[in-house]
A and B are shown apart, each in its own frame.
Chain A
Amino acid sequence: MALGFWQVWEGGWISAILRGAVITIALGMASMAFGIVIGVACGLIKWARVFPLTLVVDFYTSIVRGVPELLIIYLLFFSSVEFVAQVAAAFGYEGLAGNGYAFTIAVVAIAAISGAYSTEVVRGALAAIPNGHIEAARALGIPGRRIFRRIIAPQMLRIAVPGMNNVWQTTIKDTALVSVVGLQELMRAAFVGAGSTRNPFIFYFIAALVYLAITLVSQGGFDWIERLLRPRTRK
Chain B
Amino acid sequence: MDLELAFFAVPTLAKGLWLTALLTASSVAIGFSIGLALAVMRLSKSKALSSFAKGYSTVFRGTPLLVQLFLFYYGLGQLSFVRDNPVLWWIIGDGAHCAVMALALNTAAYTSEILRGGLMSIPGGLVEAAQACGMSRLLRFRRITFPLAIRQALPAYGNELVLVVKGTSLASTITVLEITGHAKRLMSQTYAILEIFAIAGVLYLLINLVLITFVRLLEARLTSYLPR
A: which residues have CB within 8 A of B? 62-63, 65-71, 74-75, 78-79, 82, 169, 173-177, 179-180, 187, 190-191, 194, 199-205, 207-208, 211-212, 215-216
Q: How far is the CA of A176 from the CA of B167 in the complex (A)?
A: 13
Q: How far is the CA of A78 from the CA of B192 in the complex (A)?
A: 10
Chain A interface: which of B4-12, B26-34, B144-152, B199-207? B199-207
Query: Which residues between 156 and 187 of chain B lie within 8 Å of chain A, taking CB atoms?
Result: 162, 165-170, 172-173, 180, 183-184, 187
Q: How far is the CA of A75 from the CA of B201 in the complex (A)?
A: 10
Which residue of chain A is the closest to B209 with respect to CB atoms?
Answer: A66
Q: How far is the CA of A169 from the CA of B64 in the complex (A)?
A: 10
Q: How far is the CA of A79 from the CA of B61 in the complex (A)?
A: 32
Which residue of chain B is the closest to A64 with respect to CB atoms?
Answer: B201
- Residues on the B chain within 8 Å of A200, using CB: 70-71, 74-75, 77-78
Nearest CB in chain A: distance from B93 CB, A: 14
Q: Tell me if A208 and B68 are in contact (CB < 8 A).
A: yes
A-B contact pairs, 18 of them (CB 8 A): A63-B201, A63-B205, A68-B170, A69-B166, A70-B173, A71-B197, A169-B61, A176-B64, A187-B64, A191-B70, A194-B70, A194-B75, A200-B78, A201-B71, A205-B75, A211-B62, A212-B62, A215-B61
Query: Which residues between 50 and 70 of chain B lie within 8 Å of chain A, taking CB atoms?
Result: 58-59, 61-68, 70
Q: Tell me if B183 and A176 are in contact (CB < 8 A).
A: no
- Residues on the A chain within 8 Å of B166, using CB: 66-69
- Residues on the A chain within 8 Å of B59, using CB: 208, 212
Nearest CB in chain B: distance from A9 CB, A: 18
- Residues on the A chain within 8 Å of B197, using CB: 71, 74-75
Q: How far is the CA of A208 from the CA of B66 in the complex (A)?
A: 10
Which residue of chain B is the closest to A4 with respect to CB atoms?
Answer: B78
- Residues on the B chain within 8 Å of A194, using CB: 70, 74-75
The verdict on A201 contacting B64 (CB below 8 Å), with A67-B205, A74-B197 known, is: no
> Does B193 count as interface, using CB distance less than 8 angstroms?
yes
Q: Tell me if B169 and A68 are in contact (CB < 8 A).
A: yes
Q: Tell me if B204 and A66 are in contact (CB < 8 A).
A: yes
- Residues on the B chain within 8 Å of A176, using CB: 64, 66-67
- Residues on the A chain within 8 Å of B205, using CB: 62-63, 66-67
Which residue of chain A is the closest to B165 with respect to CB atoms?
Answer: A68
- Residues on the A chain within 8 Å of B79, using CB: 201
> Does B194 count as interface, using CB distance less than 8 angstroms?
yes
- Residues on the B chain within 8 Å of A63, using CB: 201, 205
Q: How far is the CA of A74 from the CA of B192 in the complex (A)?
A: 12
CB within 8 A of B63: which of A65, A191, A203, A208? A208
Q: Beyond the given A66-B201, A67-B166, A74-B183, please list 14 additional residue pairs across the A-B interface where CB-CB is below 8 A.
A: A66-B208, A68-B168, A75-B197, A78-B187, A82-B191, A169-B61, A173-B63, A173-B65, A176-B67, A200-B71, A200-B74, A200-B75, A201-B78, A203-B75
